[in-house]
Amino acid sequence: MNKSEWIRSLADQGHEVKQIAKETGLRYQHVRNVVVRYREKRHGGYGAQAGSEGVRIAPADEQGKLSLGRRHSNRLFRVSEQPDGNLLLEPVVMVHEREAWLYRNPVAFEAVKRGIEESRAGLARPAGPFIQYADDEDEE
């Protein structure tokens, strides 16, 4: 029996990843990877299910963590628990607080978008120096 088979056997017996790592003397991350992949295969893997494009089984580990796959690595998601218990994951981006005002102000946001489009279309013209608007002190 190789290490992965040993890990899978212990997982089938109901042992948690932390327990398996301690009992086998193997690194926690290695044990976790073996168990997660094993559960994915045992529960249908990442392939699309019949009649459900983009639907897959993603088993949670004992800490409640899901693996969404490398395609979604290093991204942020808003997680909403629906009244029926379903979870909705929505990709989000973070905006610095100093810049958030622009997205909350539709008039200013439209003006910026219009300026970008005009610039792309070659309609921008030099406005001259802005030194008279410079301030020696930062607003922060």
pLDDT tens track for 97-136: 999 999 999 999 999 999 999 999 988 777 888 888 777 6
Output the pTM of the full model. Answer: 0.42
The model's pLDDT over 39-48, given as tens digits with 9 standing for 90+, comes to 777 755 544 4
Beta strands 87-92 and 76-81, pairing class: antiparallel
- Cβ atoms of residues 67 and 93 within 8 Å: no
The model's pLDDT over 59-100, given as tens digits with 9 standing for 90+, comes to 788 888 888 888 888 899 999 999 998 989 999 999 999 999
**Can you read off the two tokens belonging to residue 94?**
């973070």
Distances (CA, A) of 81 to 6, 47, 54, 60: 36, 24, 20, 16
Domain boundaries, the chain: 1-45, 97-124
Cβ atoms < 10 Å from Cβ of 45: 14
> How would residue 50 be classed by pLDDT, with cut points 50, 70 and 90?
very low
> What is the rounded radius of gyration, in angstroms, for the C-alpha atoms of the chain?
26
